């Protein structure tokens, strides 16, 4: 399956403009042969809201009007897409990634790790289990931005069978090491494809660094959009490579399998709840 990662600017609070850009890009990328087109975090809404009330004005239910319009475009083009938005669910506000395909909504993911930054100062942490979605033979996992700085969610998705994990993100300055090192590390340590799709532009004094990339299961960049300009990268995903966890470098002399060689009986402390204060929330 050919995928596209769309590094683009977003207009804060202008869902109509952002939605128009998304559907136009879907059409162009479908014509170039891509079946999955991935957009940044909070693509529909923007990110740097100053209050919960302001953000709530731009949030929607799922399903909702914007998702319905995107679903209609996916049906006409026979493509899948992943994009970021704000979800309103009763009194809760979630930062979500939505996967939509020709038959409608495939799945949603609510961001579980929240930095004290932008709209995430006001959103509710997701509590859904990490889920792998089936996209026409491709097993997809979704995370959002800060989630990529934690190895555990990616490992959970890999253990559940993901071939590809996508990370819609809004990386600001300070996240350069994430873009340069963590993306390929997450791919390599789980033998999966990994696509980090960042935005560019500025919002209320925050500039976004771009540096989107797609990595292969060996931990190598396949494609990158280096720098802070808009751009689109494409790559072929070979699920057989991601599913073959046993790597034979020298027959009978050098063989590794990062799933089979794990020692989960020693990892108990990783799942022990902690009482550390969360920056900006518990202090």
> Which residues are catalytically annotated?
41, 111, 145
38-70 burial, b if ≥16 CB within 10 A, otherwise e?
bbbbbbbbbbbbeeeeebeebbbebeeebbeeb
151's tokens: 């190895």
Residue with tokens 């022990």: 272
Where does the chain have alpha helices with state H?
15-31, 52-56, 65-77, 151-159, 176-177, 183-190, 239-243
8 A C-beta contact, residue 99 and residue 108 = yes
Cα 230 from Cα 198, distance rounded (Å): 10
Cα 125 from Cα 212, distance rounded (Å): 25
- Beta bridge partner(s), residue 235: 3
Whole-number CA gyration radius for the chain: 18
């Amino acid at each position: 399956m050919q995928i596209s990662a769309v590094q683009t600017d977003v207009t804060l609070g202008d869902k109509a403009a952002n939605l128009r850009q998304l559907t136009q890009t879907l059409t162009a990328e479908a014509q170039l042969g891509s079946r999955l087109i991935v957009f940044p975090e909070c693509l529909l809404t923007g990110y740097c809201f100053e209050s919960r009330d302001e953000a709530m004005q731009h949030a929607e239910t799922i399903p909702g009007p914007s998702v319905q319009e995107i679903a209609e475009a996916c049906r006409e083009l026979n493509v899948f897409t992943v994009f970021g938005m704000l979800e309103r669910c009763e009194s809760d506000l979630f930062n979500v990634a939505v996967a939509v395909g020709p038959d409608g909504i495939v799945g949603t993911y609510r961001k579980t790790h929240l930095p004290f930054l932008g709209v995430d100062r006001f959103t509710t942490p997701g509590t859904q289990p990490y889920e792998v979605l089936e996209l026409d033979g491709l097993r997809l996992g979704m995370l959002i931005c800060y989630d990529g700085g934690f190895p555990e969610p990616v490992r959970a998705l890999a253990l559940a069978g993901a071939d590809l994990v996508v990370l819609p993100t809004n990386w600001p300055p300070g996240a350069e090491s994430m873009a340069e090192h963590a993306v390929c590390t997450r791919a390599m340590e789980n033998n999966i494809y990994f696509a980090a799709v960042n935005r560019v532009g500025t919002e209320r004094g925050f500039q976004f660094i771009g540096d989107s990339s797609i990595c292969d299961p060996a931990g190598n960049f396949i494609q990158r959009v280096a720098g802070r300009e808009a751009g689109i990268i494409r790559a072929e995903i070979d699920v057989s490579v991601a599913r073959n966890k046993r790597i034979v470098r020298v027959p009978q002399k050098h063989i590794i399998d990062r799933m089979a060689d794990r020692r989960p009986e020693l990892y108990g402390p990783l799942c022990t709840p902690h009482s550390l204060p969360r920056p900006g929330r518990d202090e």
